[in-house]
Structure 1
Amino acid sequence: MDRLSNTVRPYAWGSTTAIPALLGTAPTGEPQAEMWMGAHPGAPSRIFRRPTTETTATPDGDLTADDAAAAATELAGAELALTDVIAADPVGELGAATVTRFGPRLPFLLKILAAGAPLSLQVHPNLDQARRGYADEEARGVPIDAAHRTYKDANHKPELICALTPFDGLCGFRRPTEAADAMESLGVDSLKPYVDLLRAHPEEAALREVLTAVLGADPAEMAETVAEAAAAAERLGGAHAPYARIAHHFPGDRGVIAAMLLNYVQLQPGEALFLDAGVPHAYLDGLGVEIMANSDNVLRCGLTPKHVDVPELLRIVRFEATEPGVLRPEAAPSGEELYETPADEFALSRYTLAAGGDPAELTAAGPQILLCTAGALRVGDLELAPGESVFVPAGEAVEASGAGTLFRATVGA
C-alpha cells in the first residue's frame, strides 16, 4: 500500500478555493479544477516506494563513489509514477482477473472535481464508437494532439460524480414539451422556431432537429438570441436563473440555448449522478468525487472555445428524454455504502467511520484507491487527512479506522 502524490489540473473553469479548502492549504488565486488519482498517462499519481531488500557492499567491502550513490538511493527508496509501477508488475498490482479483463493498466481514474464555472456541454461515445472513431482518425493521420482531434483513445468514458458539497449540473434531455415551455416563457422571438419544432414532432425527431438547428445557426444571429435569452432569464429568475448564470460565463455561446433542452439537477452531499454513453451533460458548480473509465474521449456541443465536431456529435448523442436518476448509496451490513452503476471498469463506495468503532475491512481482489474526504483516518499504517489517498494493490489486506469519510474506488464486479 502506497500513499499517492497527485496532480491538480488548473483548468479555467476550476474553483480557486474548493480544493485548497479540502486540503487545508492556502488558495493560490489560480483555478484548481481537478485532482487526479490513478495511472492516467496525462498526469499519473506518484508513490514513494521503499525497497524490500537492502543493498550490500561489494565482496571486498569497498564501494566506488557511483556504487555508494546508487546504494544510498536504493536504501532511501524512490518516487515512482504509478504507471511505471503497474507496468513493471501488472498482475501483482492489478490482479490476474483485472489484467485479463482490461489489459495491463488501471481501468479507472478517480478525481476530486471542483467546478467554479460551467464545464463544456458534452457527450461520451460508447465502446464500439470509440474504437471505430479512434481507428478512423489514426488511419487518416490526425495528430493525437491536434485541436480538431476527437478521439484520444479507443475507450469509452462512463462516469459517476458524487457531491461533496451542494452540486448542480445538466444531465440528459428533458421532454420536448418542457423544453418548449421553458424557451417560450422567456418571450424571445428568435426562439419561436425552436419552440415550434419541439411541439411539432415526436420526441427523438424534435430533440435532434432543434439541437441540429442550434449548432448550425449563424454565429452572429445566435449571439443575439443568447443575449436576449440571458437578459430574460436574469429578469425572470427562478427556474431560469441557471441559464442566466451559464450565459454570464459564456456570452453568446450556442451552448446556452442547447442547455435549455436538458434536465437541470441539484445534488446534495452524498448524492450522485451516473453519466452513460450518449447522454449530454455539463457540470455547473460544486465539489465532488468523480470516477470514470480511463479515457479522454469527449465530444463537445457548447460552452467551450474548443473544437465542436457537429456531424460526429449528432451521431453519438442519444436523442431521448430521460430522468436525471439521482443515485443514493446502498448500505451493506459491513458499513460500505455502494453507488450502483452498470460500469465494468469501476465501482465507487463510501465508508463513514466513527471514533472507537470497528475498523472497516477493505481487502479486495482488484486494485483500490482509497480517498479521505473528511476527518482523520488511519489506513493500514498510514494516516490520511482530507484530500489524501492511497493505492492498494490487488489482494492486499487493509483496514481503515478513525473518524471521517473514506471513498473506495475499485474495479466493477
Structure 2
Amino acid sequence: MLLPLTPPPPPPHKYAWGSPSLIADLEGRAPSGTPEAEVWFGDHPADPAQTPDGRTLDVWLSEHGVRSGAPSHLPYLLKLLAAESPLSIQAHPSIAQAEAGFAREEAAGIARNAPRRTYRDSNHKPELIVAVSDEFRAVVGLRDLAATRRLVTELGDGARPLAARLEYADASLAAVLDWVLSEAAAAEVRAVIDAAAGATLPNFSAELDLVRSMNGQFPGDPGIVVALLMNLVTLRRGEGLFVPAGVLHAYLSGLGVELMAASDNVLRGGLTSKHIDVDELLAVVDARPGRPNVVRPRAVAPGVERYHVPVADLALDRVSVTAGQGVEIVVDSATIALATTGTLSILGGMTNGTVTLRPGSAIFVTPDEGRLTVTGYGEAFLAAPGLRLG
C-alpha cells in the first residue's frame, strides 16, 4: 500500500531557531511570517503524521500490525529541519543509558512532559542529517586537543583559565566541560567568551565568527565555550553527518533531511533556556576528541545512492530521477519516501495507480509492495530500517 502522509496540524514546528523561509521555499508556498523549524514524518507519539482518513500513523500501524518497537511502531523518525540560528548543544544516550534513565525517572514519578524530565522514552537517538540547502553548518564532536590548545592559547590572558585546564598531556575534556558548565566558573567563562569575541586569528576565523554570532544571541552562555571546543563543519548539498550516541552537536544553519532513531531523549549543554542536567550530560557524553563522521552517499543501483550508517534503526537512500528515465527500487521493509525537488510519480509493485509527490510531501510504503517505480523528475529520500550495508 502507498499511504500519503501529512504532518499533524499545525505544521511546521515553530521553534525559535527555525528559518522563516527555507521550508516554505521547499514546499513552494509563501512564508508564514514566523520561524519554521521542523516537519515530522513518522509515528512517534509526540507528533505522529496523519493518513488520508484522519487517523494518525501510529494508530494506522497498530491496526494493520506493521512492526512494533519502543517507543514507536517504526524504529526511525524522518524530518525536514530548517535552522536559522543554533539549536541547543546536545548529546543523546545509548540504549542502555536511555533504559536506565527512563526507569529511574519513572520510578521518581517525574511526569514525562515535565520541563526537568530528561528521559522521555527508553530508546537511543543516533541521527543522520543530510544537507538539502547548498550549505548546512554544524558543530559536532570535540576538536583535536592540540588544535584546541593552539586556539585557546592564542586568545591571550582572558582565556588563560581555560588554557590552564587544557595544557596537560592527559587533559580530560570531560573535566573541562564540567568546569565550563559549572556556576563557579561563570565569570571566567564570560572572560573566555569576551577574549574570543574580540580576537582576530586567521587560522580560526570561522570559529571566532561563530563565537561572536552566538554571543549576540546567547550573551555569556557557557555553551559558547563548549562550541569553541568542538569541530565546525560545513556540509555541501547531498553530504550527510552521522551523530552516534554520546557525541556533542548543535546544528547551526541550513535545510536538511534528518533521520534518527525514534526517540525524544535530549541532554543539553548550553545555548538554551531549557533544563540542563550537567551531571547526566557528562555521564552520557563521549569526551574523546575525534573527527566528524561526514557521510557521502554511494551508488547502489541506477539512480539510487545510500548513506551508510552503522545502526540497525535506520537507513537512508537518495533517489534521483531524470525526465524520461524511471528508477526501480526494491522495498523490503516499512518505508517513508519524502520528495525534496521536482514532481515524482510513485507506482508500487502491488498497487494500481500512482501517487504524486512534490517537494515536502511524503508517503508511507508497506513492505508488501516489494518494488517501487519512480518516474517524472526530481529527488526523494527513502527512510527505512537498517542495517542495509550492501
Deviations 1:209-239 (A, max 9, x none): 2111101143751563255135315797444
Tell me which structure has the larger Cα radius of gyration: 1
What pairs up with 1:125-274 in 2 under 5 angstroms?
Answer: 125-165=93-133, 166-187=135-156, 189-202=157-170, 205-218=171-184, 221=187, 224-225=190-191, 228-229=194-195, 231-233=197-199, 237-274=205-242
User: Do the aligned residues in 2 keep the contact of 1:234 with 1:241 (CA within 8 Å)?
Assistant: no
- Note the C-alpha offset of 1:184: 2.5
SS in 2 for 1:365: coil
Work out the CA distance in 2 between the residues paired with 1:24 and 1:233.
Answer: 42
1:152/1:290 CA distance change after superposition, 3 Å? same
Deviations 1:352-392 (A, max 9, x none): 110001x2223412111101101111112111111111111
Deviations 1:179-222 (A, max 9, x none): 122222233x34212112212141xx431121111011437515
SS in 2 for 1:168: strand
In the other structure, the counterpart of 2:58 is 83
Count of aligned residue pairs for this structure pair: 373
Moved more, 81-90 or 154-163: 81-90
In the other structure, the counterpart of 2:33 is 29
**Structure 1: gaps of 5 or more residues:** 49-77
In the other structure, the counterpart of 1:320 is 288
**Structure 2: gaps of 5 or more residues:** 348-353
What pairs up with 1:296-375 in 2 under 5 angstroms?
Answer: 296-357=264-325, 359-375=326-342
Work out the CA distance in 2 between the residues paired with 1:354 and 1:361.
Answer: 13
Q: Given the alignment, which residue of 330, 334, 355 partners 1:382?
A: 355
Percent sequence identity over matched residues?
41
Instruction: Specify the code of the residue in structure 2 equivalent to 1:384.
Output: L
1:309/1:113 CA distance change after superposition, 3 Å? same
- Could you state the TM-score of these two structures normalised by the residue count of structure 2? 0.91
SS in 1 for 2:167: helix
In the other structure, the counterpart of 1:408 is 382
Higher helix share: 1
Instruction: Specify the code of the residue in structure 1 equivalent to 2:319.
Output: Y
- Could you state the TM-score of these two structures normalised by the residue count of structure 1? 0.86
User: Do the aligned residues in 2 keep the contact of 1:230 with 1:247 (CA within 8 Å)?
Assistant: no
Deviations 1:137-189 (A, max 9, x none): 101111111111110000000000000110111111112221122222233x3
User: Do the aligned residues in 1 keep the contact of 2:58 with 2:72 (CA within 8 Å)?
Assistant: no
Work out the CA distance in 2 between the residues paired with 1:225 and 1:402.
Answer: 57
1:103/1:109 CA distance change after superposition, 3 Å? closer
In the other structure, the counterpart of 2:43 is 39
1:233/1:21 CA distance change after superposition, 3 Å? farther
Moved more, 266-275 or 208-217: 208-217
SS in 2 for 1:118: coil
User: Do the aligned residues in 1 keep the contact of 2:5 with 2:363 (CA within 8 Å)?
Assistant: yes
SS in 1 for 2:208: helix
Work out the CA distance in 2 between the residues paired with 1:213 and 1:377.
Answer: 52
Work out the CA distance in 1 between the residues paired with 2:206 and 2:19.
Answer: 24
SS in 2 for 1:8: coil
User: Do the aligned residues in 1 keep the contact of 2:186 with 2:222 (CA within 8 Å)?
Assistant: no
